A and B are shown apart, each in its own frame.
Chain A
Amino acid sequence: MVVGDVTTGTEVLVIGAGPGGYVAAIRAAQEGLDTTLVEKDAYGGACLNRGCIPSKALITGSGLAHEAGNAEFMGVHADPAVDMGKMIEWKDGVVDRLTSGVEKLCKANGVNLIEGEASFVDEDTVRVAHGGEGQGSETLSFEHAVIATGSRPIQIPGFEFAEDHVWSSADALDADTVPDRLGVVGGGYIGMELATTYAKLGADVTVIEMLDDILDPYEDDVKRIVRKRAEELGVEFHFGEGASEWSEAPDGGYLLHTETEEGEESSYGVDKILVAVGRQPVTDGLGVGNAGIETDDRGFVETDDRTRTAVEGIHAVGDVAGDPMLAHAASNEGIVAAEVIAGEPAALDRQAVPAAVFTDPEIGTVGMTEAEADDAGFDPVVGEMPFNASGRAMTTGHTEGFVRIVADDETGFVLGGQIVGGEASELIAEVALAVEMGATLEDVAATVHTHPTLAEAVMEAAENARGQAIHTLNR
């Protein structure tokens, strides 16, 4: 406490204005609680500034360029040129509109906004250091706090993001030129999204992955389709190799050195190296220990199904609270946190959280796979509809992929679904709704779907699972 320091009190203090934090703050304010939101960097968090939104903007831009240049089979001839600077400018405009929208929404809902870096003093006080020299700091006491500080990309030894040629995912989303050769370390969803994007923008992309395939959590046939398409786009894969170091190449550019578990070494010539090996929670500088909060061995704050930490009155939501590290999960958790604080009977009892990967083609998944359903003791029944049997898919020129729906044979309850193909990120919402509502295969199959749409494939997959498919051979 410094001389002249005045402690301001707030009922709810939210730390971090990402999709978990700002949603928690707005809902808390809507619940009539005096709410203060502290953000040290930019409203919208990683999602709006360095993740979902900018990456989807670039994915769309690069996809459009690629589509236009590869539509001769439809009779469309074009040779699109990409002005990367302009594309980044457009992307930044989108981000600006969204982040300022978040700020306005917070204010319109009566959330007090403070810019600065919060750090716990004890279990009911934080100190907020304002950015910049001489900006000072202030103390806030709170009745309830929501930690929503998110996550940041993991660095690997020898590949410091500070280096000009070593990119984090955020750097890859801000680059105003396309490197000729891009080495991507990590074949997870961030690595794959950016690998496909840069491949479409004209880079020669090499993906280095320690495991023996890309997109570890997904089923083999899902991965295969995405990998095959990436290979068609010119992406080169090297599995079972880990990035060990980089060096300058004699011809200019850099060499990305890799090593297998057996010690075999390889080197790949690149101009930029994108390290995308995962994300870690942001708790450093937050002083969680001062509040009595312990983090697990990976640094995540542990919470219960009401987003409560072990310290009474302090909640944690979003990436900092661990898996699933997804913006929509964070927002859901933020709402629950605010409602629990307001004394409402909210809880995280969602049955499944859908996930989408914006590769080409997209992946959308929710709930259980067939194997998971089997492990869980269900008697799973599976229905599939390949997009090459979909009229709408054919008219888009993209017939790769399928819709798979997993249900319990005895009751017909939809347990999950995996979609790979065009608009999978949108289509999965229907399966998510079915899982959450406890809908049966019959419910999905008997719901009339618009024709001609890709969504019909969900209906057809449900029919297929019931042995009543019309447009495919029943399994």
Chain B
Amino acid sequence: MTIKEFKLPDVGEGVAEGELVSWLVAPGDRVKEDQPVAEVETDKALVEVPSSYDGVVEELFAEEGQMVPVGDVIISFRVDEEGAGDAETPDEESAGTESESAPSDGPAAESDAGQAEDGGADAEPDTPSGRTFAPPSARRLARELGVDVAAVDGSGPGGRVSEADVRAHAEGDAGSAGADDADAPEPRPAPTDTGSDGRKSAVSKRDADGSAASSGTAAAGPEPAGRETTLATPATRKVARDRGVDLDDVPTDETRDGEAFVTADRVRAYADALEAAESEPAEPAASDSNTTDPEPADPTPTGGATEATTASGDETVPYRGVRRTIGKQMERSKFTAPHVTHHDTAEVDSLVEAREELKPTAEAEDVKLTYMPFVMKAIVAGLKRHPYLNSELREDDEEIVLKGEYNLGIAVATDAGLMVPVVESVDEKGLFELAEEVNDLAARARERKLKPAEMKGGTFTITNFGAIGGEYATPIINYPETAILGLGAIEERPVVRDGEAVPAPTLPLSLSIDHRVVDGAIAAEFANTVMEHLENPLLLLNE
């Protein structure tokens, strides 16, 4: 048996860290090489991290939802000897070479390996022929929680595995059951935030901080107050009886005559929290998080998709993954860059005609020609004339970088949330080439098959809300860019020509700028240039 560690690989150009969205395995699970073990979110791309080894998952070092720096050990595997041979040639991104030397890295690593070997012996079924004694209900629970029942330490007679044992294992108590652990002076280094030497074990934190759960579910529930006496009305006492709650355990800060006083509402809230904790297996709690928080954790691999129903009938959906990435990015942009939005409308008769004329040629080349490439070219014309729209403000350096490249991000609505793939060097590409590239990126964005690198390096962003409906909006800048252009739908709207209102195809434009960098006048001039090019597509020939 050898222990192999696995570091979060560099999943994309310049990506320094990723959010560990979900674990797809649990300690004790047997994994095959290339089997996905975790989903990591980096700059809106969800990347599956494959295992480099055949072996059994020994330990998880990150929690779901945690940001993990690239290069940090996130998981370790117990690799059997034949498997170790396989791991001699790990893929380059993996921790193969480092893991060879891991046991000599220091006392921490040594104790890890020692512990793991002991754990390995524990995890081997005590009974012959791989038999684990557990009733069907415990086996089913193990499957639900992704736990290998053979790796669970049974607490029943002869080591029989109960549902509680399975839950405890899933929550991370498994490693602490081995007798040898008690002899180990300090099985784990003190948790620190970064660096593999000081890494935290997501599955053993409760042991590490001394608050090991005595029973599987109680640890995740609210902390019982445990008072001697509690005052309450008879009605409240009945509620407590009905809900199976000990009044002395219900937290309260109210007092009557110097004694703790509990209301029926508090009893219900406490009972709800208990039930929520019992109905959902608890996420391994971080030592720096509040372990008494009754908020149920989400154990499912696809964190973002899970919904929970509270007692009041409200649904809670975890704020995770792409949603949270988008949220943080929006928050940062909105509260960093003072937004000003400039609206205007281009009359695009000529553009519509130009596209119609080009369409057959495009189709002959198997290209689906939309208006987007024209808009992109028009934007490039505007950016060239007004370079501050194609810039980035570096606050720390107190400088504005005027970008030399014209890389346009295209916001794409997907089931998972907004994705912004980037079309690079738009100034150097033809309409058809742009059309193909945009179509490809958008399709792959919807399938979530974009590589992180394909969403980096943008200098200006386009958001096409008109594709769904609407005329004007307030686009939020894709920070740290300086501007973003929102497109409404091209539709016939009344315009005044020669003193008469006539219908004409128009394109509503909404341009948001970072007012720290760009003033309204420049924004209007940029918009004018863009509109000029959209209204006279021949001008695009010059771009």
- Stretch with Cβ within 8 A of A (4 or more), from B59-67, B137-145, B529-537: B137-145
At the interface, yes or no: B493 with Cβ under 8 Å from chain A?
no
- Stretch with Cβ within 8 A of A (4 or more), from B5-13, B158-166, B183-191: B158-166
Contact indicator B158/A410 (Cβ below 8 Å): yes
Contact indicator B143/A438 (Cβ below 8 Å): no
CA distance A436 to B158 in the complex (A): 15
Question: Which positions 309-360 of chain A face chain B at CB distance < 8 Å?
Answer: 345-347, 349-351
| Known A376-B129, A436-B136; contact A347-B143, beta-carbon cutoff 8 A | yes
The one of A346, A349, A377, A411 that contacts B158, using a Cβ cutoff of 8 Å: A411
CA distance A443 to B139 in the complex (A): 20
| Known A410-B158, A411-B158; contact A438-B133, beta-carbon cutoff 8 A | yes
Give A436's nearest chain B residue, CB to CB: B136
| Known A411-B158, A438-B160; contact A378-B127, beta-carbon cutoff 8 A | yes
At the interface, yes or no: A142 with Cβ under 8 Å from chain B?
no
> How many residues of B are in contact with the other chain, CB < 8 A?
19
Greatest chain B CB density within 10 A among A350, A411, A442 is at A411
CA distance A286 to B133 in the complex (A): 40
Question: Which positions 87-135 of chain B face chain A at CB distance < 8 Å?
Answer: 127-129, 131, 133-135
> Closest approach, in angstroms, between the C-beta of B318 and any C-beta of chain A?
19
Contact indicator A438/B128 (Cβ below 8 Å): no
CA distance A349 to B149 in the complex (A): 11
Contact indicator B127/A408 (Cβ below 8 Å): yes
At the interface, yes or no: B156 with Cβ under 8 Å from chain A?
yes
Task: Chain B residues near A440: list those with CB within 8 A.
Answer: 157-158, 160
The one of A346, A408, A411 that contacts B143, using a Cβ cutoff of 8 Å: A346
| Known A377-B128, A408-B127; contact A345-B136, beta-carbon cutoff 8 A | no
| Known A376-B128, A378-B127, A411-B127; contact A349-B157, beta-carbon cutoff 8 A | no
Give A433's nearest chain B residue, CB to CB: B135
> Closest approach, in angstroms, between the C-beta of A23 and any C-beta of chain B?
17
> Closest approach, in angstroms, between the C-beta of A258 and any C-beta of chain B?
40
At the interface, yes or no: A78 with Cβ under 8 Å from chain B?
no
- The majority secondary structure among interface residues of chain A is loop
Contact indicator B133/A411 (Cβ below 8 Å): yes
Task: Chain A residues near B143: list those with CB within 8 A.
Answer: 345-347, 349
The one of A350, A376, A410 that contacts B131, using a Cβ cutoff of 8 Å: A376
Contact indicator A377/B129 (Cβ below 8 Å): yes
Contact indicator B129/A412 (Cβ below 8 Å): no
Task: Chain B residues near A413: list those with CB within 8 A.
Answer: 127, 133, 158, 160
Contact indicator A438/B156 (Cβ below 8 Å): yes
Contact indicator A378/B139 (Cβ below 8 Å): no
Task: Chain B residues near A154: list those with CB within 8 A.
Answer: none
Contact indicator B135/A438 (Cβ below 8 Å): yes
CA distance A393 to B192 in the complex (A): 70
CA distance A378 to B128 in the complex (A): 6
At the interface, yes or no: A68 with Cβ under 8 Å from chain B?
no
> Closest approach, in angstroms, between the C-beta of B128 and any C-beta of chain A?
3
Give A438's nearest chain B residue, CB to CB: B133
Task: Chain B residues near A408: list those with CB within 8 A.
Answer: 127, 158
Task: Chain B residues near A442: list those with CB within 8 A.
Answer: 157
> Closest approach, in angstroms, between the C-beta of A467 and any C-beta of chain B?
18
Contact indicator B160/A345 (Cβ below 8 Å): no
> How many residues of A are in contact with the other chain, CB < 8 A?
20
| Known A436-B135, A437-B135; contact A412-B158, beta-carbon cutoff 8 A | yes
Question: Which positions 426-440 of chain A face chain B at CB distance < 8 Å?
Answer: 436-438, 440
Contact indicator B128/A412 (Cβ below 8 Å): no
Give B145's nearest chain A residue, CB to CB: A345
Give B136's nearest chain A residue, CB to CB: A436
CA distance A442 to B160 in the complex (A): 13
CA distance A413 to B159 in the complex (A): 10
Task: Chain A residues near B156: list those with CB within 8 A.
Answer: 438
Task: Chain A residues near B157: list those with CB within 8 A.
Answer: 411-412, 440, 442-443
Contact indicator B129/A411 (Cβ below 8 Å): no
Task: Chain B residues near A345: list those with CB within 8 A.
Answer: 140, 143-144
Give A351's nearest chain B residue, CB to CB: B131
CA distance A297 to B333 in the complex (A): 66
Task: Chain A residues near B160: list those with CB within 8 A.
Answer: 413, 438, 440
Contact indicator A349/B139 (Cβ below 8 Å): yes
As a 0/1 sequence over residues 399 to 438 of chain A, the CB contacts with chain B under 8 angstroms (1 = contact) are 0000000001011110000000000000000000000111
> Closest approach, in angstroms, between the C-beta of A123 and any C-beta of chain B?
23
Task: Chain A residues near B129: list those with CB within 8 A.
Answer: 376-378
Give B134's nearest chain A residue, CB to CB: A438
Give A408's nearest chain B residue, CB to CB: B127
As a 0/1 sequence over residues 257 to 294 of chain B, the CB contacts with chain A under 8 angstroms (1 = contact) are 00000000000000000000000000000000000000
Task: Chain A residues near B136: list those with CB within 8 A.
Answer: 350, 436-437
CA distance A351 to B139 in the complex (A): 11
Task: Chain B residues near A410: list those with CB within 8 A.
Answer: 158
Task: Chain B residues near A351: list those with CB within 8 A.
Answer: 131
> Closest approach, in angstroms, between the C-beta of A351 and any C-beta of chain B?
8
CA distance A213 to B197 in the complex (A): 67
Give B138's nearest chain A residue, CB to CB: A438
CA distance A411 to B158 in the complex (A): 5
Give B128's nearest chain A residue, CB to CB: A377
CA distance A428 to B539 in the complex (A): 89
As a 0/1 sequence over residues 372 to 386 of chain A, the CB contacts with chain B under 8 angstroms (1 = contact) are 000011100000000
Task: Chain B residues near A349: list those with CB within 8 A.
Answer: 139, 143, 149
CA distance A438 to B133 in the complex (A): 5
CA distance A376 to B127 in the complex (A): 9
As a 0/1 sequence over residues 127 to 157 of chain A, the CB contacts with chain B under 8 angstroms (1 = contact) are 0000000000000000000000000000000
CA distance A462 to B129 in the complex (A): 23
Task: Chain A residues near B131: list those with CB within 8 A.
Answer: 351, 376
CA distance A346 to B142 in the complex (A): 10
CA distance A426 to B446 in the complex (A): 57
Give B158's nearest chain A residue, CB to CB: A411
> Closest approach, in angstroms, between the C-beta of B150 and any C-beta of chain A?
11
> Closest approach, in angstroms, between the C-beta of A430 and any C-beta of chain B?
15
CA distance A140 to B348 in the complex (A): 50
Give A376's nearest chain B residue, CB to CB: B129
CA distance A440 to B157 in the complex (A): 8
> Closest approach, in angstroms, between the C-beta of B335 and any C-beta of chain A?
41
> Closest approach, in angstroms, between the C-beta of A222 and any C-beta of chain B?
23
Give B137's nearest chain A residue, CB to CB: A437
Question: Which positions 98-114 of chain A face chain B at CB distance < 8 Å?
Answer: none
CA distance A413 to B133 in the complex (A): 8
> Closest approach, in angstroms, between the C-beta of B134 and any C-beta of chain A?
6
Give 21 CB contacts A-B under 8 Å.
A345-B140, A345-B143, A349-B149, A351-B131, A376-B128, A376-B129, A377-B128, A378-B128, A408-B127, A411-B157, A411-B158, A412-B157, A412-B158, A413-B133, A436-B136, A438-B135, A438-B156, A438-B161, A440-B157, A440-B158, A443-B157
- Chain A residues packing against B (C-beta within 8 Å): 345-347, 349-351, 376-378, 408, 410-413, 436-438, 440, 442-443
The 7 closest A-B pairs by CB, nearest first: A377-B128, A411-B158, A438-B133, A345-B143, A376-B129, A437-B135, A438-B160
With A349-B149, A378-B129, A440-B157 known, 17 other A-B pairs at CB within 8 A are: A345-B140, A346-B140, A376-B129, A377-B128, A377-B129, A378-B127, A378-B128, A408-B158, A410-B158, A411-B159, A412-B157, A412-B158, A437-B135, A438-B133, A438-B160, A440-B160, A443-B157
